[in-house]
Structure 1
Amino acid sequence: MSPKNRIKPNGFKYLIATLVILIVVYSFKLNSDYKKLEDAFSEQKIELQAELDEIIEDYKNINVKNKDLSQRLVKEINKIIVLRDSIKNLEKSNYNLIVKYSRKIVKLERENRRLFIQVDSLNKQNYELLQENIVVKNELEEKNASQKTLSKKNRSLLKERKVLKAKVGIAEVIKVNSISATAMKERSSGKLTTTSRSRRTDAFKIKFNLEANPVTTPGKKEILIQILDENGEIIASKGDKKVKSGETIVYSDNLFANYDNNQLGVVSLILVNRDDISKGVYRINTYVDGHFTGRTEVKLR
């Protein structure tokens, strides 16, 4: 080897020293970069987990009454919890998975926005429906209150009407005055004359006046006359009829009068069998249009 190509011992030492220094520097740099990368990895893991925890909390705070949407929320929460736990257990060497999970989180956030918009829309609809229900409920309550008030007024009016009807009914009754009853006997000539003897009585003559009444309806009025002996037995029964009191009476005569709201005289002649007439007091009752209107008596000896 020529002297020119030979490396000087001192120069070789410097070369070795320089290489060692370079290797140390490079190793230190590699170690420093690795440490930074490792710290960044740990920091990114923590951030991703924190972000997923926030998303989970957001889901849990959603109050949804819709059954299908609520089930979907539960499904999404479980999916996010699995992803968070996967990141938590991620090894330091799996740097590429951090990027993958970051993309997943971005996708989740997009889905969250869509889902939350849907939830907000449903909540808004529910709120509007609730407000409508409140309005309808208030309207129903007002109507019910109004109905109760009207029912109360109606009951009051019906009661007043009933009282008024009763008063009008009383006012419509045609009263009878100047009622009198006379026993009559028939002479051989066929003429009837008065008598006070029971064994000669062939008829009873009843006279009375229908008083004027401008309230009652004019027209044909039915009149019933009842003759009773001291035992309450009907004399000369002609039939029976139900009157306004609800009682069914047996009458001795019935006739009709054309009433024009003015005073009207009425005469009834009721023929009897002498054999049925005995001594005593006979009571005569009158009914006009089904109402009891008067009473008189005649005594026979």
Structure 2
Amino acid sequence: MENSNLSNAAAPKNSNLWMYILLIVLALGIIGLSIWLISVKRNMSELLTEKEMQRIELVSELDSLMFEHAQIKESYGDLSDSLVAVDSIIQANAAEIKQLLNYKWDYFKVKKKLDRLQVISQGYVRKMDSIVVVNEVLTEENLQIKEEIQQEKRKNRDLEQDKEELVTIVEEAAVLSTYNLQSTPVHVKGGGKETETDKVKRVDRIKICFTLGKNSILEPGIKTIYVRIAQPDEEILVKGRGEEYTFMHQGELIQYSIMEDIDYQNTAQDVCLYWNKRASLEMQPGLYNVDIFHGDNLIGETTFTL
């Protein structure tokens, strides 16, 4: 009986012991799990921090690459327009990488794309350098061609100037010339004898003599010579007032006193022409100017005084 009571008393003690042991094991398990969870959390935090740092690094690398690309484009100016297609590829890849970095992303995948973008960008620079070299060569050739064109233009101008000078020389050489010019007021006596006079009232005619110079350039043949005699008041001594007593000189119709056709054969030739005074004309005292014309050229000048 006594042993039975002892057994019954020991049973609760054993039950409590196992409960304590179980509680201790559970407590130790909870403590271990807590320690493990804390460790995992710390590791996750470190991983997230490391990943964020990697993201920032990749973003910085991408921004640096695109900034450098923009500077390269700006430095090449209008030449960069020739590689618009390559630039579009670079911009599209950069946009894709940015989008990946803003959401769920894989470091190695983004890094691979970034490395590929860098290769494309380097290829862009090489192509631009090639274009610059080609452009410099073309520019140099263009400048050389322009210089050659300018030289040819200068040569042409010089030739044209020489031609104009030669034409001027020929034109000047192709003009009749006169020398030994004399204009003499004459009084005609009975029997037709002429005597020189300086008396206004005794003048019957004016005798104008000159020598046409030798000129082998001119075409031989009939040359029409015009003489204008201007009185002191500059009025021209003419045979009449109609247009039949005028000739064209440098685009202007002017009066003449004497017109004579002369058969010129390129040799020196003495010529004497006469202007006969009308009986009704009263001549003025003073200085008279005599001009001799052939075509548009004034070929001789002389004067006399009454």
TM normalised by structure 2 equals 0.61
The number of residues matched between the two structures is 270
1:231 aligns with 2:251: no
User: Which amino acid in the other structure matches residue 211 of structure 2?
Assistant: N
- Which runs of 5 or more residues in structure 2 are unaligned? 1-14, 74-83, 240-244
Partner of 1:177: 179
- Which runs of 5 or more residues in structure 1 are unaligned? 1-11, 84-100
Pick from 243, 247, 259 the counterpart of residue 254 of structure 1.
259
Q: Secondary structure at the match of 2:210?
A: strand
Tell me, yes or no, if the aligned pair for 1:225 and 1:254 is still in contact at 8 Å: yes
Decide which moves more: 18-27 or 272-281: 18-27
Q: What whole-Å deviation, never above 9, does each CA across 1:86-112 have from its counterpart, x for those lacking one?
A: xxxxxxxxxxxxxxx564x33333443
Give how far 1:234 is off. Answer: 1.0
Tell me, yes or no, if the aligned pair for 2:238 and 2:255 is still in contact at 8 Å: no
CA distance in 1, matches of 2:265, 2:47: 113
Tell me, yes or no, if the aligned pair for 2:175 and 2:218 is still in contact at 8 Å: no
Partner of 1:48: 51
Tell me, yes or no, if the aligned pair for 1:201 and 1:274 is still in contact at 8 Å: no
Listed as ranges, the matches of 1:119-130 within 5 Å are 119-130=121-132
The percent of aligned pairs where both chains have the same amino acid is 19
User: Which amino acid in the other structure matches residue 129 of structure 1?
Assistant: I
Partner of 2:114: 112
Give how far 1:209 is off. Answer: 0.8
Give how far 1:53 is off. Answer: 1.9
Q: Secondary structure at the match of 1:231?
A: coil
Partner of 1:291: 297
Partner of 1:265: 270
Tell me, yes or no, if the aligned pair for 1:184 and 1:202 is still in contact at 8 Å: yes
Q: Secondary structure at the match of 2:290?
A: strand
User: Which amino acid in the other structure matches residue 177 of structure 2?
Assistant: K
CA distance in 2, matches of 1:48, 1:29: 28
Pick from 240, 245, 248 the counterpart of residue 241 of structure 1.
248
Tell me, yes or no, if the aligned pair for 2:225 and 2:261 is still in contact at 8 Å: yes
Decide which moves more: 60-69 or 139-148: 139-148
Give how far 1:225 is off. Answer: 0.9
Tell me, yes or no, if the aligned pair for 2:211 and 2:271 is still in contact at 8 Å: yes
Q: Secondary structure at the match of 2:280?
A: helix
Measured at CA, do residues 175 and 76 of structure 1 come closer, stay the same or move farther in structure 2, by a change above 3 Å? same
Q: What whole-Å deviation, never above 9, does each CA across 1:145-203 have from its counterpart, x for those lacking one?
A: 6666776777777777767766666555543122233436496xxx8542446556554
Higher helix share: 2
Give how far 1:60 is off. Answer: 0.9
Q: Secondary structure at the match of 1:276?
A: coil
> What is the alpha-carbon root mean square deviation over aligned residues?
4.9
User: Which amino acid in the other structure matches residue 298 of structure 2?
Assistant: F
Partner of 1:206: 208
CA distance in 2, matches of 1:217, 1:254: 20
Tell me, yes or no, if the aligned pair for 2:97 and 2:110 is still in contact at 8 Å: no
Give how far 1:19 is off. Answer: 8.6
Pick from 93, 96, 99 the counterpart of residue 79 of structure 1.
99
CA distance in 2, matches of 1:131, 1:184: 94
